[in-house]
A and B are shown apart, each in its own frame.
Chain A
Amino acid sequence: MDQAAVRVTNLRKSYGEVHAVDGVTFVVPAAHVFTLLGPNGAGKTTTLEILEGIRDADEGEIEVLGQRVRRIDRTIKERMGVLLQEGNFEPYLRVKEVLRLFASFFHSPRSPSEVLREVSLEEKANAYVKTLSGGQRQRLALGVALINDPDLIFLDEPTTGLDPQARRNIWSLVTGLTDAGKTIILTTHYMEEAESLSHLVCIMDHGRLIAQGSPRELAAQLGRETLIEFVAQAGVAPSPEFLGPACKAVRRDGDLILVETGDLVATMARLLEWSAAAASPLAGMTVRQPNLEDVFLSMTGRRLRE
């Protein structure tokens, strides 16, 4: 394996009776995008907060950028950049003033104007933070995370609430950072984002790590199945037995029926027969390959956003 930027072993953090992080172990290789995936309350934010130095772990070992530490100290923070979930800046500061302010916290910061150029906010340099759009604020937050030219960057839901164009702008910036050899730890709700940006994905649920690997490896855990999705009419769904031996499973997700099959043609033929016999049209039918959402669904029986 490549040199590790972060190594976490048996990390635990509890709030009273609630085990927010319950014995998590993972390794983040340097110059990779590592994504923590999970529904709300899975423990990914607490894990991130411990690694960012906001909270202390109850137990476990942490090694960051080659240093084994009990808690994240000032010297490690000098080499870290953090884009916080729902983070904010003083509304009456100008964009360039925010960057200058954060630059003053580090020993060897980059020039704010260079960072402004990198996040394409040069035209907004003199604008007050409160006048920025959601996308511009996130780009500013990314600029703040990059002001010290960090080796390790935390991006906690960097595109939540952004329109597709703004989201793609952030993605292209993240891709540029990995090309420059930066290590990125990302959390996101968006499967497409995780699949397109991540080298490694770690899926968490109830404070535990339930799967990890590259997006392709995780999807492969479902085998070579193809997924047929359609909306059930009047709550009826075909049984796996009726659809024949090629059908691996039939799952219901609200009104949506998901059929996993190893032989698309055979299962589709049986499905059409069932549709005619049950007088139930296959409304909104799509055929696709499994994604991370399906991996999570098959492992927990729930969707990520539930």
Chain B
Amino acid sequence: MRSILSVARAQLATALRERITLFWFLAFPLFLLTLLALIFSNVGTEVDEMTFDVTLVNLDRPVAGTADFSAGIVEVFRRLGEPRGEGQDPLFALHVPEQGADVPAYVESELAALRVGNRAAVVLIPEGFSASVARAALAPEENATSKLVVHTSAGRTSSDLVVSILDQVFVSVDREILTKLGLFDSSRALVLEERGVGSQGGGFRYVDFLLPGIVIMGFFTAGLFSVPGTILFGREQRILRAYWVTPLNVPRYFAGFALGHLGLCVLQFACVVLLGRFAFGARVDLLRPLPLLYLILAVVTFLALGFLVAALARTANAGMAIANIANMPMMFLGGLFFPIGELPVALRAVMLANPVTYLADGLRASTGTGAGVLPTAATIAVPVAWIALCIVVAVFRLRWDVER
């Protein structure tokens, strides 16, 4: 046991002192997590966490003594511009012209702001709005309509979202008006009950989807590059041979090596999870039994994969070449960073043979951060089959000493 722990300690110390290993083991996963979390920070953010810059200009001046429907609209916007709760931001950061302002000039400047992306929408309540609403409500046979003008920025997601929100708001406002006029019975309205699936509640958040992917990627690159690198370099440089002339045998060395590798993966996992949680507010809980099972399965699978590469390569350079060739398709066709959509048949075959796909899917399903599109049994069976395959090849092909 003493020798196993010593080999593990040496393995850990060596990896943490070597800059290249340290970069791939720790810096790269943290860098990638930061990069993707920053770039796609809005993806999956719930609407109730977002604030849109919206301008409202009321041009309606109803005649005294008639109904002022535009005041109701203004009130709706004013409410949407209030904080949603204590410590929470409002849905709309509302911009309105000041008293006595030059309204046409103000509208022009707000449209300019919309063009450069500083506004999500500019809403105009046209002149005569209240009169047209009253006409439309009281004399529907005239097919009169009342219109609000909403200026948006084409193709901008925030504009699309504001239009969608306003659509919903005005359907409600419309119903309210009709109800007040006795033309709509809200108790008979069709009710939609929405039920989310595949998440722990709170909706889809990209960082929660990304974090398990980054953890799996870290284990994957660690196994794929570090294992053959250490074994093949050690073999070539006769570092391993120095062990074989002592009482240390291959099984003990392997046990120490695997233990050291596990230690490195735990360290890497801790860094990634802490960064995700404290820098990007990730809420995904990976420390429950089922996610832990997938994490251990991932470490073992990629450790075995590393030994497979070491078994197939004759030199350290060849080992790195094989690892590099395997790296890209396995990593990017494993659904680590983005959900895998429809793929051409050839790529789909790679995806379905890829243990990364199953581990990432299984881990996400177990944490509620992904829909879990693959059968649960497959997410365990396929990686186990890969482990078995790698062990068989490594036992028969891997040479632990320089060949004569």
A interface, CB within 8 angstroms of B: 15, 52-54, 74, 77-78, 80, 82, 84, 86-90, 92-93, 97, 100-102, 104-107, 128, 141, 144, 148, 154
Is B238 within 8 A of A87, CB to CB? yes
Bound complex: CA A173 to CA B6 (Å):
28
> Once the chains are docked, how many angstroms separate the CA of A78 from the CA of B246?
7
Please pick, from A78, A80, A104, A107, the residue contacting B6 in the complex, using a CB distance under 8 A.
Answer: A104
Other than the known A84-B241, A87-B241, what 4 A-B pairs have Cβ atoms closer than 8 Å? A52-B245, A84-B238, A84-B242, A107-B247
Binding site for A on B (CB under 8 A): 2-3, 5-7, 9-10, 13-14, 17-18, 234, 237-239, 241-249, 401, 404
Shortest CB distance B140–A (Å): 83
Given known contacts A84-B238, A87-B242, A88-B242, A77 and B13 CB-to-CB distance under 8 angstroms: no
A36 to B323, CA, bound (A): 42
What residues of B have a CB within 8 angstroms of the CB of A148 in the complex?
A: 246
Contact of A89 among B9, B18, B242 (CB under 8 A): B242
Contact A104-B3, Cβ < 8 Å, known A88-B238, A89-B239, A97-B13? yes
CA distance A141 to B241 in the complex (A): 12
Assembly CA distance A203 to B249 (angstroms): 33
| Chain B residues with CB under 8 A of A141 | 242
Residues in B whose Cβ lies below 8 Å from that of A154: 245
Q: Knowing A54-B401, A100-B6, A101-B7, say if A93 contacts B13 (CB, 8 Å).
A: yes
Return chain A residues, CB-CB under 8 Å to B241: 54, 84, 87
Chain B residues whose CB sits within 8 angstroms of the CB of A52 once the complex forms: 245
Cβ-closest chain B residue relative to A18: B404
Question: CB distance B238 to A93 under 8 Å?
Answer: no
Inter-subunit contact A97/B242 (CB<8 Å):
no
With A15-B404, A84-B242, A92-B17 given, is the CB distance from A77 to B247 under 8 Å? yes
Contact across chains for B404 and A101 when beta carbons are under 8 A apart: no
Pairwise interchain contact B238-A92, C-beta atoms closer than 8 A: no
Contact residues in A for B234 (Cβ distance below 8 Å): 90
Across the interface, do B18 and A77 meet the contact criterion of CB distance under 8 Å?
Answer: no
Name the contact of B239 in the complex, choosing from A15, A88, A105, A128 (C-beta under 8 A).
A88
CB distance from A89 to the nearest CB of B (A): 6
Q: Among the interface residues B2, B239, B242, B244, which one has the most CB atoms of the partner chain A within 10 A?
A: B242
Q: Is the CB of B14 within 8 A of A90?
A: yes
Q: What is the CA–CA distance of A265 and B86 in the complex, to the nearest angstrom?
A: 116
Of all chain B residues, the one with the shortest Cβ separation from A100 is B6
Cα A106 to Cα B2 in complex, Å, equals: 9
**Are A101 and B245 within 8 A (Cβ)?**
no
B238 and A101 form a contact (CB under 8 A): no
Identify B245's interface contact among A77, A90, A92, A128, CB under 8 A. Answer: A77
Which one of B246, B247, B404 has the greatest number of beta carbons of chain A within 10 Å? B246
Indicate the member of B17, B245, B401 with the most A CB atoms within 10 Å.
B245
Q: Which of A86, A90, A93, A106 contacts B246 (CB 8 A)?
A: A106
The listed residue (A53, A77, A92, A100) touching B14 by CB distance below 8 A is A92
Q: Judging by beta carbons under 8 Å apart, are A77 and B246 in contact?
A: yes
4 smallest CB-CB distances across A and B, nearest first, come from A104-B6, A82-B245, A92-B17, A105-B246
Q: Is the CB of B245 within 8 A of A74?
A: no
**How far does the alpha carbon of A97 sit from the alpha carbon of B16 in the complex, in Å?**
15
Q: Is the CB of A101 within 8 A of B6?
A: yes
Among residues of B, the one whose C-beta sits closest to the C-beta of A13 is B404
Kindly name the residue among B3, B238, B244, B247 whose own CB sees the greatest number of chain A CB atoms within 10 A.
Answer: B247
- 19 inter-chain pairs at a CB distance below 8 angstroms, sorted by A residue, are A53-B244, A54-B401, A74-B249, A77-B245, A82-B245, A84-B245, A87-B241, A87-B242, A88-B237, A88-B238, A88-B239, A92-B17, A93-B10, A97-B10, A105-B246, A105-B247, A107-B247, A141-B242, A154-B245
What's the Cα separation between A154 and B6 when bound, in Å?
A: 24
Q: How far is the CB of A191 from chain B (nearest CB, A)?
A: 26
The CA of A106 and the CA of B10, in the complex, are separated in Å by 16
B401/A92 in contact, CB under 8 A: no
CB distance from B9 to the nearest CB of A (A): 8
Which A residues are CB-close (under 8 A) to B9?
A: 101
Residues on B with beta carbons closer than 8 Å to the beta carbon of A100: 6
Kindly identify which residue among B5, B10, B401 contacts A90, using a CB–CB cutoff of 8 Å: B10
Residues on A with beta carbons closer than 8 Å to the beta carbon of B6: 100-101, 104-105
Q: Nearest-CB distance from A48 to chain B (Å)?
A: 10
User: How close is A158's CB to chain B, nearest CB, in angstroms?
Assistant: 14
A102 x B239 contact (CB < 8 A): no
Q: How far is the CA of A139 from the CA of B18 in the complex (A)?
A: 24
Bound: A102/B247 CA distance, A: 10
Which chain A positions have C-beta within 8 A of B3?
104-105
In Å, the complex CA distance between A87 and B241 comes to 7
CB contacts (< 8 Å) of B244 on chain A: these are 53-54
Asked whether, in the complex, the Cβ of A86 is within 8 Å of the Cβ of B238, the reply is: yes
Task: With CB as the reference atom, state the residue of chain A lying closest to B241.
Answer: A84
In the assembled complex, the Cα of A86 lies from the Cα of B17 at a distance in Å of 24
Q: Across the interface, do A105 and B238 meet the contact criterion of CB distance under 8 Å?
A: no
Given A87-B238, A92-B17, A101 and B10 touching (CB < 8 A)?
Answer: yes
What separation, in Å, do the CA atoms of A52 and B247 have in the docked complex?
Answer: 11
| Complex Cα gap A223–B195 (Å) | 104
CB distance from A142 to the nearest CB of B (A): 12
Complex-state Cα separation, A88 to B245, whole angstroms: 13
Expressed in whole angstroms, the minimum distance between the Cβ of B23 and any Cβ of chain A is 14
Complex CA–CA separation, A152 to B172 (angstroms):
94
Tell me the complex Cα distance, A93–B18, Å.
10
Knowing A54-B241, A84-B238, A86-B238, say if A105 contacts B248 (CB, 8 Å): yes
Tell me, in angstroms, the Cα distance from A93 to B401 when the chains sit together: 21
Residue of A nearest to B404 (CB): A15
Residue of A nearest to B253 (CB): A105
Whether the Cβ atoms of A53 and B13 lie closer than 8 Å is no
Contact of B247 among A15, A88, A106 (CB under 8 A): A106
Q: How far is the CA of A92 from the CA of B10 in the complex (A)?
A: 9
A212–B244 Cα gap in the complex (Å)? Answer: 30
A291 CB, min distance to chain B CBs, angstroms: 31
Q: Which residues of B contact A86 (CB under 8 A)?
A: 238
A87 to B243, CA, bound (A): 10
Chain B neighbourhood of A84, CB < 8 A: 238, 241-242, 245
Most buried by B among A52, A84, A104, A144: A104
